[in-house]
Structure 1
Amino acid sequence: MATRVAAGRAKYLAKRNPQRALYKTLFRNGMAEEAIRTEVDRFLNSKKKVLRWEFGLALSQLHHLGLYDLALKLSETLNQRGMTRRHQDLALYFDLVTKTRGIKEAEKCFIEIPDFAKTQPPYNALLKCYCEERMTEKAEGIMKKMKELRLASTPVPYNLLMTLYIKTDHPERIPLMIQEMKTDDIMLDVHSYNLWMKGIAATGDVSGAERVFEEMKSDGQVMVDWTTYNHLALIYVEAGLFDKAEVMLTELENRINDGDLEAYQCLIRLYGRTGNLVKVHQLWQSLKPVIPMTQLNKSYLNMMRALADLNELPNLETCFKEWESLCETHDIHVVNVMMEAYAKAGLIDKAIDIQNHALVRGAKLNSKTHEILMDYYWKGGEFVSTIKCISDAVSARGEGTKWVPPMEIVVSLMGHFKREDDVDGAEAFLNVLEESGMKLGAEVFEPLIQTYAYSGKTNRLMRRRLKMENVVVSDETDKLLDIVCVE
């Protein structure tokens, strides 16, 4: 009897209607975070069985929405209930652990894997975490270990490292990686070629990127797809070669399917940067009818950025109002685009109005929101408001993320404190900078010391502070320390 019941249950699960799948259940009441959390808790309390494919889709969607803690909770609960985590699942799992608990916890998860099971997927997963956290030394260290174990035999780890080098402004290292791949007979894939082009272009060699493109087309093992034309178009846009960019964008259009939202969004954004408003609107009208609710915020965000690039404020306002009438969740990233456009146009009251409206609608302000206002106030010489925005931006940063103010603004504000002989204001500002995780150098400490000296105030611990921060000041400022550091 029990066997027949189990067999019947297995048969039912195998034939489960996709419309009743887990990801459909979790998002049946919309994309609002509160509604999703309620559905996840309801599912976990029900102890219902799910298939691996529907679990995977639900997990990916939660990750896409930035609900990392919820995705991790779902993953770990189902793992405890018997849905064993496979090696190919580790990249996403390590990423969720890193984003919610920190990179040290991800390292701990890796260490707990038995040595015999530490194959390519676990190593690639940890390497991906290091690269996304921009931990170059650790990333290179684990890559070295993978080579020793002969686990760096695919393009994946090389692509991860090359992506890291681009993000950390070291594109000159990419040709060396490509040469190493060729020497070790590791086949370049589309992503490898795209990164190679991007790295070459980042050094200012557009012709070199074109040569890489020609080599890619002649490589019989690689099929050029729309992403390559997208990369080359972006290279041309950033070089100001708009005619060449539009040729690549036309090629891109010819290689995409009608339902490929990502490709359409890339087209819209790049046509916006070439100044082609007609094409932007044409593509948007084609895309709008097929946008699923799960992609609504992302699609409108992309379109609004294109309109912002074109300085199309009236069209941008229309698009924003349309989005507000359709959205289920008030995405602060979309609001920020509208706020920034208003601030650049000098319409700061409108920017603040939509910020307040976003709060009423349940949006959570992020560092960028405050940065927009910071930039406006700083340019207008409103230093008190600028400092408040910096403090708010530091407080608003997400868990595991970093935000620091631009050095130009920091130096400007330290100069303001010096002119005002405002030691207390300068020290309070330094506390905010330290909280942000910003490395404090001579650019900050020299005006601080001068502020103390010119205001007639002392700080006997100043030399010790400089030593602890490993800061060396100029000879002129060093002489002022004799005045400042008296008992």
Structure 2
Amino acid sequence: MISMKKMLMNPSRRFSLRSSRTFSMQQAEAPVMGGGKIGVRGGLSLYKRLSALGFNGGTVADTMNNYVNDGNFFAKFDLDSCVKELRKYGQYPLALEVMEWMNKSGNGFAPTDTAKYLDLTAKVKGISAAEYYFNGLLPSEIHKCAYGALLNCFCQGGLEDKAHALFVEMDKMGIVSTIAFNNLMTLYMKIHQPEKVPALIQELKNRNMPLDMFSYSVWMGSYSSLNDIKAVERVFEEVNLIYGKQNYDWTIISNLASAYVNVGLDEKAELTLKELEKKVLNVKRPDRRPFHYLLNLYAATSNLAEVHRIWKGLKSAFKVTTNVSTLHMLKALAKLDDVIGLKSIFEEWESTCPSYDERLAKTAIVLYLKHDMTEEAGRVFEHVVKRCEGPYYRYWEMLMSYYLEKHEIDTALECLEAAISEGKNNEWHPTPEDVNRFMEYFKKDNDANGAEMFCKILRKLQPLDHGTYTSLLEIYAGASQIVR
């Protein structure tokens, strides 16, 4: 494979993008993502093996059998803990496989297990599969937890009609809870109808049902989306009145800060963030999430010094700095255009990370290209190819856009070909906007040969659309060439 770094350093160099890939994925030892306390009968050891399947392959059934054959044993509690950790770290297919094994092995499902299974099925196989599973349950197996889980699936999927119909059915059965109302509020925020949230809050109050912290958070978020900062402040005051300043959840004050940021009240936002710091940073068991919010919100107020200060605090509060924390920091630095700070932190992460996270690499490449740091971008791309399986068409797409912007059309065409070759079964297509950008460049330069080569590449994916073909004819006419 031609060096990505050489290509980026010397954009005039021409090479074949069809050469075979010489890099193979390096299988690193899979990290234990949770690192928490799991079970009392060797559950942590079991979780290590299950978690590693996401990196090394294999099946849950074989892993379970081998674990037992090695002289270990576990209780259902251990399996529940493993499922919890796998869900926490986004390993949904593995979590679903564990639950399927639990069910087939005769452990049986409790009502909460059915709910978790529904949620995982929706995440892995789609909402239709979860609905099919729910409809196949016996009456004795359908608990209010299952109804709640299906409602959550519909709401997360933005399926308003199905969510509303199920909510009405649950209401008739007398099993509607605050959580069900919260799900509907989340749905309306997802489908960009925040104006419907306050009516649901009022309905909760009319029924004398308690609002929880999530209810208040979504309520504040709805007013923030409507740019009604006074209403956001009124909700915050209600929380203070009911819970007291020391007892409400930290997400409430972060929502207030976010609302101030959204309307450009940066001074109020930063004062609120100082209150958030007092609430969450000096505790015995710190949580990473407030640090992430602080990084993002200080970046939104364009306060680079505070971003770096919070980052130092995060690193000192935790023995291990996770990929997710580093990603939040890199995004904050990218937002503030601090390429020097990003480069330093990214290179430190890249030299020590046990598992390579492409999201961090993409964030770095985007900012490097913005600053014409093509050598650095090329080096990161090479590391991605060495350490990740691919496909890599999103990286080639970034490079294509960069060279289009620089009017390096020949190199942009090579990146286009590389992106297409990376996608299987026409998995990747250039956007209509990128197609138009190419054609505009060819038209401006009367470059009929370049336009013809470009259209030849496009035809590998699909026939030319009317607009592209018309542009090609115009370019031929401008260049006084005959249509071929």
Shared topology, TM-score over 0.5?
A: yes
2:297 to 240, 247, 270: 270
The alignment-based identity, stated in percent, is 29
Instruction: Evaluate the alpha carbon distance shift between residue 29 and residue 103 of structure 1 in structure 2; reply closer, same or farther with a 3 A threshold.
Output: closer
User: Which letter does structure 2 place at the counterpart of 1:118?
Assistant: I
User: Which letter does structure 2 place at the counterpart of 1:99?
Assistant: K
Q: How many angstroms apart in 2 are the aligned matches of 1:372 and 1:35?
A: 30
For the pair 1:108 / 2:132, whether they are aligned, the reply is yes
Q: How many angstroms apart in 2 are the aligned matches of 1:453 and 1:41?
A: 61
Instruction: Evaluate the alpha carbon distance shift between residue 31 and residue 73 of structure 1 in structure 2; reply closer, same or farther with a 3 A threshold.
Output: closer
Deviation by residue 1:419-444 (Cα, 9 ceiling, x = unmatched): 9897997798699699xxxxxxxxx9
Q: How many angstroms apart in 2 are the aligned matches of 1:451 and 1:303?
A: 44
Deviation by residue 1:299-331 (Cα, 9 ceiling, x = unmatched): 111222222222221111111111112211101
Q: Which runs of 5+ in 1 are unaligned?
A: 1-15, 435-443, 457-487
Q: Cα RMSD between the aligned structures?
A: 4.0
Q: Which runs of 5+ in 2 are unaligned?
A: 1-36, 477-484
Pairs aligned (count): 426
Maintained 8 Å contact 2:392/2:419: no
TM normalised by structure 2 equals 0.74
Maintained 8 Å contact 1:329/1:363: no
Maintained 8 Å contact 2:121/2:129: yes
Maintained 8 Å contact 2:54/2:94: no
Deviation at 1:191, TM superposition (A): 0.7
Instruction: Evaluate the alpha carbon distance shift between residue 30 and residue 59 of structure 1 in structure 2; reply closer, same or farther with a 3 A threshold.
Output: closer
* 1:328 matched residue in structure 2: 354
* 1:463 matched residue in structure 2: none
* 2:170 matched residue in structure 1: 146
* 2:8 matched residue in structure 1: none
Q: How many angstroms apart in 2 are the aligned matches of 1:289 and 1:299?
A: 13
Q: How many angstroms apart in 2 are the aligned matches of 1:236 and 1:187?
A: 27
* 1:119 matched residue in structure 2: 143
TM normalised by structure 1 equals 0.74
Question: How is 1:13-24 mapped onto 2 (pairs within 5 angstroms)?
Answer: 21-24=42-45
Deviation by residue 1:30-81 (Cα, 9 ceiling, x = unmatched): 9794258589843343345423333233223223333322222122112222
For the pair 1:311 / 2:337, whether they are aligned, the reply is yes
Instruction: Evaluate the alpha carbon distance shift between residue 25 and residue 49 of structure 1 in structure 2; reply closer, same or farther with a 3 A threshold.
Output: closer
For the pair 1:251 / 2:275, whether they are aligned, the reply is yes
Deviation at 1:298, TM superposition (A): 1.1
Maintained 8 Å contact 1:31/1:329: no
* 1:447 matched residue in structure 2: 467
Maintained 8 Å contact 1:275/1:310: yes
Q: How many angstroms apart in 2 are the aligned matches of 1:169 and 1:144?
A: 22
Maintained 8 Å contact 1:297/1:331: yes
Maintained 8 Å contact 2:356/2:388: yes
Maintained 8 Å contact 1:226/1:255: yes
Instruction: Evaluate the alpha carbon distance shift between residue 360 and residue 52 of structure 1 in structure 2; reply closer, same or farther with a 3 A threshold.
Output: same
Deviation at 1:332, TM superposition (A): 0.7
* 2:480 matched residue in structure 1: none
Q: How many angstroms apart in 2 are the aligned matches of 1:179 and 1:433?
A: 53
Deviation by residue 1:370-416 (Cα, 9 ceiling, x = unmatched): 66445434544556467558758976999xxxx99877557656877
Question: How is 1:178-327 mapped onto 2 (pairs within 5 angstroms)?
Answer: 178-219=201-242, 223-256=247-280, 257=283, 258-291=285-318, 296-327=322-353
Q: What secondary structure is seen at the aligned counterpart in 1 of 2:150?
A: helix
Deviation at 1:227, TM superposition (A): 0.5
Deviation at 1:455, TM superposition (A): 9.2
Q: What secondary structure is seen at the aligned counterpart in 1 of 2:354?
A: coil
Maintained 8 Å contact 2:295/2:310: yes
Instruction: Evaluate the alpha carbon distance shift between residue 323 and residue 455 of structure 1 in structure 2; reply closer, same or farther with a 3 A threshold.
Output: closer
User: Which letter does structure 2 place at the counterpart of 1:321?
Assistant: E
Q: How many angstroms apart in 1 are the aligned matches of 2:151 and 2:56?
A: 34
* 1:343 matched residue in structure 2: 369
Deviation at 1:192, TM superposition (A): 0.9
Maintained 8 Å contact 1:417/1:425: no
* 1:7 matched residue in structure 2: none
Deviation at 1:239, TM superposition (A): 2.0
* 1:66 matched residue in structure 2: 90
Q: How many angstroms apart in 2 are the aligned matches of 1:339 and 1:303?
A: 15
- Name whichever structure is richer in helix by fraction: 1
Maintained 8 Å contact 1:26/1:36: no
Instruction: Evaluate the alpha carbon distance shift between residue 264 and residue 432 of structure 1 in structure 2; reply closer, same or farther with a 3 A threshold.
Output: farther
Question: How is 1:161-180 mapped onto 2 (pairs within 5 angstroms)?
Answer: 161-180=184-203
Q: What secondary structure is seen at the aligned counterpart in 2 of 1:255?
A: helix
Deviation at 1:122, TM superposition (A): 0.6
1:54 to 36, 56, 78: 78
Q: How many angstroms apart in 1 are the aligned matches of 2:462 and 2:216?
A: 40
Instruction: Evaluate the alpha carbon distance shift between residue 283 and residue 24 of structure 1 in structure 2; reply closer, same or farther with a 3 A threshold.
Output: farther
Deviation at 1:185, TM superposition (A): 2.6
Q: Taking CA–CA contacts closer than 8 Å with sequence separation of 6 or more, which of the two structures ends up with the larger relative contact order?
A: 2
Q: What secondary structure is seen at the aligned counterpart in 2 of 1:134?
A: coil
Deviation at 1:138, TM superposition (A): 2.3
Q: How many angstroms apart in 2 are the aligned matches of 1:148 and 1:392?
A: 55
2:63 to 33, 37, 42: 42
Deviation at 1:141, TM superposition (A): 2.6
Q: How many angstroms apart in 2 are the aligned matches of 1:361 and 1:393?
A: 16
Q: Which moved more, 1:27-36 or 1:259-268?
A: 27-36
Question: How is 1:451-466 mapped onto 2 (pairs within 5 angstroms)?
Answer: none
Q: Which moved more, 1:57-66 or 1:104-113?
A: 57-66
Instruction: Evaluate the alpha carbon distance shift between residue 450 and residue 169 of structure 1 in structure 2; reply closer, same or farther with a 3 A threshold.
Output: farther
Q: How many angstroms apart in 2 are the aligned matches of 1:176 and 1:385?
A: 55
Q: What secondary structure is seen at the aligned counterpart in 1 of 2:279?
A: coil
Q: How many angstroms apart in 2 are the aligned matches of 1:432 and 1:216?
A: 56
Q: Which moved more, 1:369-378 or 1:160-169?
A: 369-378
Instruction: Evaluate the alpha carbon distance shift between residue 19 and residue 49 of structure 1 in structure 2; reply closer, same or farther with a 3 A threshold.
Output: closer
2:388 to 362, 365, 371: 362
Q: Which moved more, 1:93-102 or 1:103-112?
A: 93-102
Q: How many angstroms apart in 2 are the aligned matches of 1:226 and 1:270?
A: 14
* 2:178 matched residue in structure 1: 155
Instruction: Evaluate the alpha carbon distance shift between residue 91 and residue 405 of structure 1 in structure 2; reply closer, same or farther with a 3 A threshold.
Output: farther
Instruction: Evaluate the alpha carbon distance shift between residue 368 and residue 453 of structure 1 in structure 2; reply closer, same or farther with a 3 A threshold.
Output: closer
Q: Which moved more, 1:386-395 or 1:308-317?
A: 386-395
Deviation at 1:283, TM superposition (A): 2.6
Deviation by residue 1:233-255 (Cα, 9 ceiling, x = unmatched): 11212222111111111111122
Maintained 8 Å contact 1:373/1:389: no
